[in-house]
Amino acid sequence: MSHSPADAAARRAVPPVICYPNDTLPVPDLALYAAARAGGTKVSEVLVPPREAACFRAEAGQFFRITSVDGPQVGDLNLWNAHDLTERFYSGKTRALHGTHVTAGERLWSSFPHLRPMATITGDSLGWYGIDEFGGSVHDVIGTRCDPYTGNLLSGVQYHHCCHSNLTRALADELGVSLAEAEPHVHDVLNVFMCTGFTRDTGQYFMKASPVRPGDYLEFFAEIDILGCLSACPGGDCSSEHTSDTAACYPMLVEVFAPAPGALSGWQSPARNGYDGSHGR
């Protein structure tokens, strides 16, 4: 271990600077969205079985709500542009713009070169949780998803109901393609309802029992045409492990709502990012 320099305390005391001040981000019209949602009607629903995943679709201007049913359960969410799977949810940039966890009024951003809002969070029944004494919070964009490769690396197992594999199977079925074709489209997730953070001493990613209860929900406004896929994590509420055949697991409900005609007057789906793509040449 290296020795501390004489000015170590002074170096540590330098105040932090926010990397991406977000006060110039385009502001969603939450009042318009709320009014449109109030007059909306349900047009579809998908029940995601425990330890499995399922796909759903929401058109631009519709709302989709993820609800915990029967018992405490967390879910791993992937989103794509329904017409172009190369445009997908970018958890890292969403984290850089909004922070490690997201809630109502914040947005899920898409990958380069698009970098535009895919969905805006319009309702969060766990918004009260905030940040707890351990530094934990809900709906994180820091975890990647439980996967069979890390499981094999750490424990030598072949486990197929982890969220990565669940998402792969469900997407393959939705698109009518092979698992090998579907897997590259699966990406880092929004961990819906999951309570996570980083330890203060070692900086390790941690999870703890989610505060979610039946009836709790996270709701989104679809800014573009969305293909979504949600996995009901085999860890249940992730109170002990996130890849398990023994944890109590429950279904999750995805409902899609369409506003009344004319309710979104003046609203437009966001355009692709305005960078010219020249990269200095």
pLDDT > 80? residue 5? yes
Q: pLDDT tens-digit profile of 137-153? A: 999 999 999 999 999 99
Helix (H, G, I), strand (E, B) or coil at 108: strand
What's the whole-number mean pLDDT along residues 33-41? 97
Per-chain mean pLDDT for the chain? 96
Angle separating helix axes 148-155 and 163-175, nearest 10 degrees: 150
Of 44, 51, 49, which is closest to residue 65 (Cα–Cα)? Answer: 44
How many C-beta atoms surround the C-beta of residue 1 within 10 A? 3
Within-domain flag for 225: yes
Q: pLDDT tens-digit profile of 60-80? A: 999 999 999 999 999 999 999
CA atoms of 70 and 126, how far apart (whole Å): 17
CA atoms of 10 and 230, how far apart (whole Å): 46
Within-domain flag for 277: no
Which band of pLDDT confidence, cut at 50, 70 and 90, is reported for residue 131? very high
CA atoms of 75 and 146, how far apart (whole Å): 11
Contacts of 109 (CB under 8 A, 6+ apart): 89, 90, 93, 94, 97, 115, 116, 117, 118
Within-domain flag for 122: yes
Within-domain flag for 11: no
**Distances from the Cα of 85 to the Cαs of 113, 185, 234, 248, in angstroms?**
13, 7, 26, 33
pLDDT at 240: 86
pLDDT at 144: 93
Within-domain flag for 10: no
pLDDT > 80? residue 1? no
Within-domain flag for 194: yes
- Counted residue by residue, the chain has a size of 281
> Is-contact 234 69, C-beta < 8 A?
no
Domain count, the chain: 1
What's the whole-number mean pLDDT along residues 48-54? 97
pLDDT at 244: 75
> Is-contact 120 131, C-beta < 8 A?
no
Residue identified by tokens 């996130």 is: 242
Adjacent-strand bridge partners of 95:
none
- Domain range spanning residue 50? 27-259
Spell out where the chain has E strands: 41-48, 53-58, 63-68, 75-81, 84-88, 107-109, 117-124, 137-140, 190-198, 205-208, 217-222, 226-232, 252-258
Within-domain flag for 12: no
> Is-contact 161 52, C-beta < 8 A?
yes
Task: Quote the pTM value.
Answer: 0.96
CA atoms of 189 and 145, how far apart (whole Å): 6
Which DSSP symbol is given to 25? S
Q: pLDDT tens-digit profile of 169-221? A: 999 999 999 999 999 999 999 999 999 999 999 999 999 999 999 999 999 99
pLDDT at 2: 81
Within-domain flag for 8: no
Q: pLDDT tens-digit profile of 231-270? A: 999 999 999 877 778 899 999 999 999 999 999 999 999 9
pLDDT at 243: 74
CA atoms of 98 and 21, how far apart (whole Å): 9
> Is-contact 220 62, C-beta < 8 A?
no
Contacts of 31 (CB under 8 A, 6+ apart): none
pLDDT > 80? residue 81? yes
